[in-house]
Structure 1
């Protein structure tokens, strides 16, 4: 590990730990506070990719994955009001979603790095965020994957309700996924500002 990787690894670790803590606290009916911190993991990955290349970005992602894995393992051992704070399905979904989505982000960013400055971070983050949401919520809450943890009752997530309270009827977990996805899309746009400023500051030119 080179010293140049340390800031990215520390930033990724901080985001992962904060998100694992904040996901325990609700924000309205469809979200948790963790939904507002986790998407910035893609910003960290994209900055590492732009400034140090895809190999460095992948190392930052692996470090974040290991921190997230540790957080999930700790969460499975802490009892909450309705059981463990982190079920095995959530742990599997979280780890699989993070690693897959972040690696896809790295690959797409690298392919688009020679285009307009905003194209690579925006497209890669939108693709990675969409994949992350789809994998996590389906693995963690879909009734079709109940065999992953037979002892974990997630029937509450399958309750059929209007999508986000106003749309067509769908399982509750899909409303949670859509709300999470919409936040990720919004923050992908917001993250372009710090991305541009940080890259320009560190390279002393607009890329």
Structure 2
């Protein structure tokens, strides 16, 4: 796993080439997670959703972005992805509510339930990702072990993301099941996302970064923003 990397002058070209891909990746993960969060699943007797297994991918992508091209470009990814993700999440949520295709006619009316989920996802995404970026960059600059920054950023970023999403989306929801169980689901969702992040995505971060180091020879140390 990577420990320390020498600086290189390729930061700006690398940022320019990666930004569109990262924006598209973030939008795709948000859309998928908003669709999957509508589908409940029981894990070890606790209520959760399939979205808990997909959303941690965003934190992996964000942490690699900060590590490779810096905090400011990572923030630009968030600002460019958030509005398209909001619109696309609403459209996909209406078309495929409860996991079933409802036909294009479903877009003819306004669906307040799905819009609330999309809006909650928008708020949670922005808050969680910006906190993740700040925590990751602060710890990374201190030169600690490679795994500490992504682990700490996941713990605090996903806590804020989960709390914001479920409280905005399902507090006094029109869906009786979600209105009754959203607190339990939120706790289980956070536990699942955190477990997936720490057990799978933090090691994946280390392996991905090591692979990039080998491919490029060295990775730039982004300047603080």
Judge same fold: TM > 0.5, yes or no: yes
Q: What RMSD over aligned residues (CA atoms) do the two structures have, in Å?
A: 2.8
Q: Distance in 2 between matches of 1:55 and 1:74?
A: 30
- Per the alignment, residue 147 of structure 1 pairs with none
Q: Distance in 2 between matches of 1:132 and 1:20?
A: 13
Q: Which runs of 4+ in 1 moved over 3 A?
A: 75-81, 83-86, 154-159, 204-207
My pick for the range that moved more, 29-38 or 85-94, is 85-94
- Per the alignment, residue 168 of structure 2 pairs with 139
Q: Displacement, 1:192?
A: 1.0
Within 5 Å, give how 1:176-187 maps onto structure 2. 176-187=185-196
**Of 112, 116, 139, which residue of structure 2 is paired with 1:112?**
139
Q: Displacement, 1:76?
A: 6.4
- Per the alignment, residue 167 of structure 1 pairs with none
- Relative to 1, partners in 2 of residues 1:85 and 1:76: Cα closer, same or farther, differing over 3 Å? farther
Q: Does 1:34 align with 2:46?
A: no
Q: Distance in 2 between matches of 1:192 and 1:68?
A: 25
Q: Which runs of 5+ in 1 are unaligned?
A: 144-151, 160-171
**Of 118, 126, 133, which residue of structure 2 is paired with 1:91?**
118
**Of 86, 93, 100, which residue of structure 2 is paired with 1:69?**
86
Asked whether the equivalents of residues 38 and 97 of structure 2 are also in contact (C-alpha less than 8 Å), the reply is no
**Of 56, 69, 74, which residue of structure 2 is paired with 1:57?**
74
Alignment length (residue pairs)? 187
Q: Displacement, 1:107?
A: 0.7
Q: Per-residue CA shift, 1:103-145, capped at 9, x if unaligned? A: 01001111111221011111011100000111111111223xx
Q: Which runs of 5+ in 2 are unaligned?
A: 1-14, 99-109
Within 5 Å, give how 1:192-207 maps onto structure 2. 192-204=202-214
- Per the alignment, residue 27 of structure 2 pairs with 13
Q: TM-score, normalised by structure 1?
A: 0.78
Q: Distance in 2 between matches of 1:7 and 1:136?
A: 25
Q: Which has the higher contact order (CA 8 A, sep 6+)?
A: 2
Q: TM-score, normalised by structure 2?
A: 0.72
